[in-house]
Amino acid sequence: MNKIGLSMFIFLVGSAMAQPLPSKKIAHFAGGCFWCVEAAFEKVPGVIDVVSGYMDGTTANPTYSTYSKSGHVEAVEVAYNPEIVSYEKLLDVFWRNIDPTDAEGQFVDRGPQYRSIIFYETDEQKKQAEKSKQALEQSKRFAKPIVTEIKKASTFYKAEPYHQNYAKNHPWRYKWYYSRSGRPSFLKKAWKQKLPTRSQKEAFTKPTPAELKKKLTPLQYKVTQKDGTEPPFKNAYWDNKKPGIYVDIVSGEPLFSSKDQYDAGTGWPSYTKPLVPENIVEKEDNSWFKTRTEVRSKKADSHLGHVFKDPKTPTGLYYCINSAALKFIPVTNLKKEGYDRFEALFK
């Protein structure tokens, strides 16, 4: 077995080095269909996890077929890192994804089970929620009164597995529902914002193999296009400590953040989660006499590396990535390179 193979073998069978878990707080919101609310919060840097479920009812353990009869509403539980994203920011995300003037439901979904509510966990969250609601009212953005409730959080009951990560697991069904729900057109008008479109950076056409060979180094081409593996401990970012983000070397799509970098002791850069989850595609890999989960970039289809389970990380996972598949954008260059939307991560 050569040195690279030995290092990979040690990597696969060895245990990962632990890092201190980041601080975590919980917030709860109800804004109509929990698929849509979950999808909105999942995109926010600093959000660790979003779970769909039911709150505010009169019985325990509601199900999708019973929750409306027992007075529950569809809600989401947001686990977030306050060192990266504030509760105030989460409130802003919430307002920008609902109709706060509708007391009878949300968009196409009608009934009290779809009304909008901010559930506060602490007095401080209550204070911030009330302040945020007052500011929205005073802005006169909406002609009608703001009717979103602010209530003390009750027991949160997790919804059935089918409803979790619905936008990711059922993208076409979700897009079909979302486009017809009335939500996107309302938000566009209410916030005077364009519907999501592909920016010049996101509008990507993959170069031909000949063009890629001119653009990439031989190692970068081998890793990204031929599913290769670079040597451990002898690559650009395995011990990089600078703050910034990592993007695909071919397409420039944002993939990982130094905030989530994890020292797995393998000699390759590792991360506990993607910066933009929808830019990561997972595939089964049966090489190396073992079934593993390969990760590739969505737009460029670059081979990046693999994702492994590790209960010691805050997500229970870590992504072991080839430096040759990445380009590092330091914080100081985020705006210059067109990634200024990620600057808030490092403030």
Is pTM, for the whole model, over 0.85?
Answer: no
Within this chain, do residues 179 and 205 fall inside the same structural domain, yes or no? Answer: no
Produce one character per residue of 281-316: b if its CB has 16 or more CB atoms within 10 Å, e if not: eeeeeeeeeeebebbbbbbbebbbbbbbebeebbbe
Q: Would you state the pLDDT for residue 327?
A: 96
Within this chain, do residues 150 and 296 fall inside the same structural domain, yes or no? Answer: no
Residues with pLDDT less than 70, the chain: 1-22, 193-203, 288
Q: Is 260 within a domain?
A: yes
Q: Would you state the pLDDT for residue 315?
A: 87
Q: Is 338 within a domain?
A: yes
Q: Would you state the pLDDT for residue 294?
A: 94
Q: What percent of the chain has a predicted confidence (pLDDT) above 70?
A: 90
Location of structure tokens 């017809």? 180
Q: Is 71 within a domain?
A: yes
CATH for 166: 3.30.1060.10
Q: Is 91 within a domain?
A: yes
What is the extent of the structural domain holding 209?
201-346
Q: Is 196 within a domain?
A: no
pLDDT tens-digit profile of 47-59? Answer: 999 999 999 999 9
Contact 201, 299 (CB under 8 A): no
CATH for 302: 2.170.150.20
Within this chain, do residues 251 and 185 fall inside the same structural domain, yes or no? Answer: no
List residues with catalytic annotation: 33, 320
DSSP string, 169-233: HSHHHHHHHHHHSSHHHHHHHHTT-PPP---TTT---PPPHHHHHHHS-HHHHHHHHH---PPTT
Q: Would you state the pLDDT for residue 268?
A: 95
